[in-house]
Amino acid sequence: MPVLLTLPPVPLGTNVWYLAYGSNLSSSKFVKDRGITPLATAVVSVPGFTLALESAGFPYQEPSFASIRPIDTHHHAELRKERQLLGTAYLITGEQYSRLIASEGGGIAYKEVAVCVERVGGNDGEEGEPGESEEDGGNEGKGGPEVMEARTLVSVMIRRPEPKPSQRYKDLIVHGAEEANYPDDYQRYLRGISTYRPPTEGMRRLGAVIFLSVWVPLMALMEKITNLGISCGGDEQGNAPAWVVWLVRTLMAIMWWHHDYLHAPLWGRGDGLDQEEGVRLPVDKKRGCQIIIKEEGDKVCYKGDFMKMK
């Protein structure tokens, strides 16, 4: 039975393992853009979970971002074989973790979870003295792979079917896996991810320009409101105030509704689901696509260990 528990705040003065699986695999994103230098790193596998490019992004520009979910062994199994997730675990301080949460939108698009990971690669750097990390070291010396607990972020705004990511976003993931020297077969899997191709001519190009001219300024305003809310009214863990979370999630849902039911039928889709390259799931003609906002307490069906959700 899966067990869901609220994640406590990271105590001040302690370290925590953070699992990266998307753009944060790239050192240019994690170290340079976010300004976080980890104390140690480790390549890890996450049994029972797979990479899911289902986090709602921005139509015609960045249609989707990465999340994780339990491996689906039944639904659509005949169309695609899901791969067990590999990621990079970063050992960071509690203060760095709070900055990370704030830089990821302050709890608007993602929520914190804890997963069990198995080390498959060595560390890059020093871990510090035993007992400094919030999580236990695992099963070293017990004959099996070292198992440890890591915190990560899972999307609360998901799109079904999954949109295609931009080439820019895919490149961050692929380059991060190359930097960390992931196994060759997993790197081939990442390179094989199909991407969204922005329209370059004709009415589809005009439609994309019209959509972006309306929504880019609105979402830029939401980003400013989010940053202001985190800096002025956020909590110590880097989360935005509840009213900011509600406002941005509501506008995201309206933007995708506009795309699915008003704009895309006239100008073509901005999520790549009408592009023929690669295997894709059918779009329900009556319901279109769905954006699903997961609320507190959503259960995760995972056979085996556990997943804690905030």
More confident residue, 4 or 218: 218
Does residue 308 have a pLDDT over 90?
no
Please check if 133 is assigned to a binding site: no
Does residue 4 have a pLDDT over 60?
no
Whether 240 and 107 have beta carbons less than 8 Å apart is answered as yes
Please check if 20 is assigned to a binding site: yes
pLDDT score recorded for residue 294: 55
Q: What are 298-302's contacts with CB under 8 Å, separation 24+? A: 299/2, 299/4, 300/2, 300/4, 300/69, 300/70, 300/113, 301/2, 301/70, 302/2, 302/48, 302/49, 302/70
Domains of the chain, CATH where assigned: 15-309 (3.10.490.10)
State the average pLDDT over residues 116-125: 70
Rounded CA gap, 150 and 280, in Å? Answer: 32
Average pLDDT, the chain: 81
Q: 177 is written with which tokens?
A: 């896996």
pLDDT tier at 306 (50, 70, 90 boundaries)? very low
Please check if 97 is assigned to a binding site: no
Annotated catalytic residue within 62, 95, 104, 146 = 104
Q: Quick one: what percent of the chain has pLDDT higher than 90? A: 55
User: Can 104 be counted among the known catalytic residues?
Assistant: yes
For the ranges 194-198, 235-239, 270-274, which has the lowest average pLDDT? 235-239
pLDDT tier at 45 (50, 70, 90 boundaries)? very high
Please check if 18 is assigned to a binding site: yes
pLDDT tier at 162 (50, 70, 90 boundaries)? very high
pLDDT score recorded for residue 77: 47
Whether 154 and 110 have beta carbons less than 8 Å apart is answered as yes
Q: 64 is written with which tokens?
A: 């989707």
Q: What is the pTM of this model?
A: 0.81
Helix orientation angle between 242-257 and 202-233, rounded to the nearest 10 degrees: 170
pLDDT score recorded for residue 304: 32
Please check if 25 is assigned to a binding site: no
pLDDT tier at 129 (50, 70, 90 boundaries)? very low
Does residue 258 have a pLDDT over 90?
yes
pLDDT score recorded for residue 74: 64
More confident residue, 185 or 296: 185
The per-residue pLDDT for range 173-220, each reduced to its tens digit, is 999 999 999 999 999 999 999 999 999 999 999 999 999 999 999 999
